[in-house]
């Protein structure tokens, strides 16, 4: 290096010289492009489309220290029989933290970790074409496509934004600072550390960050351009899947709830049909060895949209009636019953059952899967 070159501000041994200096903005661009390339390679094929052993964890509670594994499992999951757990053990699907298979007679200690393996698990396809837009030491900003769940839950574990980011940013774990439903596309801001999460997430929770949504509407607005300041998610009206179950409330059935024919048909017929559906689903759940049934959020959304589409083919939504919630001041206006007819509704329910309870998620964990 000449004396002149050594006097140059880019001469910073051992990091750079006037010839090899790269601006910070360029370094950030290259780093972001490399992460995007890694992310793109992860989704072809989708990670959840490749069969894998799903793990259902079990940590021994303190009160069962010194008991056998079988006794601990029966105490924690009293609704599952010893034969259920014995079958899992016989199939060598119960392992300890060292990945060794175990028996129900094993003496366990408080805090020990065990896992039930569910082999050859696959997940529904999603659009995982996430686009990384910006990153620094504190945050990551990305564009999330639809449908893509944010977090694991229900049928999804690997085909989620959380899983993809964990793989790309390992050993770090970027945490979304706010929620975005699986069926909603848009920008997501993630914190790269717990400290930043503690600073950033409250800003969204307290409404200090302005969020703008573009939404599809039913019908044709009178204005070409307008703004809607109605809050999202707090006053959306009743939602359900078939009027029988609400996503996020496992094992809770609603008899003739909003989204079913209910008051638009003979109520005795409607109640009887629902009770038969509930009884049959409980029997099917027991036959599967499951302890949880819940509505899939995407199926719920699709059913609500179908109900609205059918209702708006009639004059009912134009009337200020209690069908629309108009009898209560400030209540969101939405047509609550399903107007497609009891015969059509019952046929749809039969099709759902014959196809393995489409739109319902069965689980053996005993822990309700939360929304994405």
Cα 293 from Cα 358, distance rounded (Å): 12
Range of the domain at 64: 51-121
In a domain, 77, yes or no: yes
Cα 326 from Cα 318, distance rounded (Å): 11
CATH number for the domain that contains residue 179: 3.30.2350.10
The answer on 329 and 271 residing in a single domain is yes
- Of the segments 24-33, 133-142, 181-190, 196-205, which one has the largest average pLDDT value? 133-142
The answer on 357 and 288 residing in a single domain is yes
Confidence of residue 112 (pLDDT cuts 50, 70, 90): very high
Mean pLDDT in residue range 79-102: 91
In a domain, 299, yes or no: yes
The secondary structure of residue 150, as a DSSP letter, is S
The answer on 178 and 114 residing in a single domain is no
In a domain, 239, yes or no: no
Q: Which helix (H) or strand (E) holds 113?
A: strand 113-121
Enumerate the β-bridge partners of residue 325.
none
- Of the segments 214-223, 269-278, 358-367, which one has the largest average pLDDT value? 269-278
Cα 75 from Cα 196, distance rounded (Å): 40
Q: What is the pLDDT of residues 149-208, one digit of tens each?
A: 888 766 788 999 999 999 999 888 898 988 888 888 999 999 998 899 889 988 887 778
In a domain, 9, yes or no: no
Query: Over 60: is that where the pLDDT of 231 sits?
Result: no
In a domain, 195, yes or no: yes
The secondary structure of residue 262, as a DSSP letter, is G
Q: Could you tell me what percent of the chain has a pLDDT over 70? A: 92
The answer on 130 and 98 residing in a single domain is no
Sign, Cα dihedral of 337, 345, 149, 371: positive
The answer on 153 and 62 residing in a single domain is no
The answer on 129 and 146 residing in a single domain is yes
Chain Cα centroid distance, residue 350: 26
pLDDT computed for residue 363 by the predictor? 83
In a domain, 197, yes or no: yes
Mean pLDDT in residue range 98-108: 94
Cα 321 from Cα 342, distance rounded (Å): 21
Chain Cα centroid distance, residue 92: 29
Count how many domains the chain has.
3
φ/ψ of 319, rounded to 5, equals: -95, 145
pLDDT computed for residue 131 by the predictor? 96
The residue from 65, 86, 121 where one domain ends is: 121
**What is the longest distance spanned by two Cα atoms in the chain?**
96
Mean pLDDT in residue range 27-54: 90
The answer on 144 and 110 residing in a single domain is no
Q: What is the pLDDT of residues 355-367, one digit of tens each?
A: 889 899 888 764 4
The residue from 83, 99, 121 where one domain ends is: 121
Provide the edge-to-edge strand list for the sheet that holds 52-59: 52-59, 113-121, 94-96
Provide the edge-to-edge strand list for the sheet that holds 175-176: 131-135, 139-144, 186-191, 175-176
Query: Over 60: is that where the pLDDT of 232 sits?
Result: no
The answer on 161 and 116 residing in a single domain is no
The answer on 325 and 283 residing in a single domain is yes
Q: What is the pLDDT of residues 294-333, one digit of tens each?
A: 998 888 888 988 888 888 888 888 888 888 877 777 677 7
Query: Over 50: is that where the pLDDT of 371 sits?
Result: no
pLDDT computed for residue 230 by the predictor? 52
pLDDT computed for residue 367 by the predictor? 43
Query: Over 70: is that where the pLDDT of 15 sits?
Result: yes
In a domain, 1, yes or no: no
Enumerate the β-bridge partners of residue 141.
134, 189
Q: Which helix (H) or strand (E) holds 115?
A: strand 113-121
Decide if 319 contacts 241 (C-beta within 8 A).
no
CATH number for the domain that contains residue 71: 3.10.290.10
The residue from 105, 121, 137 where one domain ends is: 121
The answer on 296 and 336 residing in a single domain is yes
In a domain, 107, yes or no: yes
Cα 241 from Cα 181, distance rounded (Å): 16
The answer on 112 and 129 residing in a single domain is no
The answer on 100 and 155 residing in a single domain is no
Cα 274 from Cα 266, distance rounded (Å): 13
- Map residue 255 onto helix, strand or coil: coil
């Amino acid at each position: 290096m000449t004396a002149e070159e050594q006097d140059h501000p880019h001469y910073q041994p051992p990091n750079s010289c006037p010839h090899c200096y790269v601006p910070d903005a360029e370094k950030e661009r290259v780093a972001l492009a490399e992460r995007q390339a890694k992310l793109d390679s992860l989704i072809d094929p989708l990670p959840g489309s490749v069969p894998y052993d799903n793990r259902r964890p079990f940590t021994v509670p303190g009160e069962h220290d010194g008991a056998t594994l079988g006794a601990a499992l029966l105490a924690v999951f009293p609704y599952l029989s010893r034969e259920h757990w014995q079958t899992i053990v016989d199939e060598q699907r119960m392992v300890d933290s060292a990945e060794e298979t175990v028996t129900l007679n094993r003496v366990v200690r408080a805090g020990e970790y065990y896992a039930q393996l569910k082999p050859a698990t696959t997940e529904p396809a999603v659009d995982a074409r996430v686009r990384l837009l910006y990153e620094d030491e504190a945050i990551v900003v990305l564009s999330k496509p639809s449908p893509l769940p944010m977090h694991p839950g229900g049928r999804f574990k690997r085909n989620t934004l959380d899983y993809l980011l964990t793989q790309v940013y390992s050993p770090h774990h970027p945490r979304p600072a706010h929620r975005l439903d699986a069926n909603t596309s848009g920008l997501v801001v993630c914190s790269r550390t717990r400290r930043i999460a503690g600073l950033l997430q409250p800003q969204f929770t307290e409404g200090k960050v302005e969020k703008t949504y573009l939404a599809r509407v039913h019908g044709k607005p009178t204005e070409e351009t307008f703004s809607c300041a109605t809050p999202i998610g707090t006053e959306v009206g009743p939602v359900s899947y078939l009027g029988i179950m609400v996503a996020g409330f496992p094992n809770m059935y609603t008899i003739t709830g909003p989204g079913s024919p209910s008051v638009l048909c003979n109520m005795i017929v409607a109640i009887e049909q629902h009770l038969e559906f509930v009884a049959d689903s409980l029997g099917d759940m027991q036959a599967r060895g499951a302890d949880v049934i819940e509505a899939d959020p995407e199926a719920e959304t699709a059913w609500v949209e179908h109900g609205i589409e059918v209702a708006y083919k009639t004059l009912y939504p134009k009337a200020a009636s209690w069908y629309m919630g108009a009898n209560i001041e400030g209540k969101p206006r939405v047509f609550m019953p399903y107007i497609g007819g009891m015969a059509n509704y019952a046929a749809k329910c039969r099709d759902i059952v014959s196809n393995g309870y489409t739109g319902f998620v069965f689980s053996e964990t005993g822990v309700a899967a939360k929304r994405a």
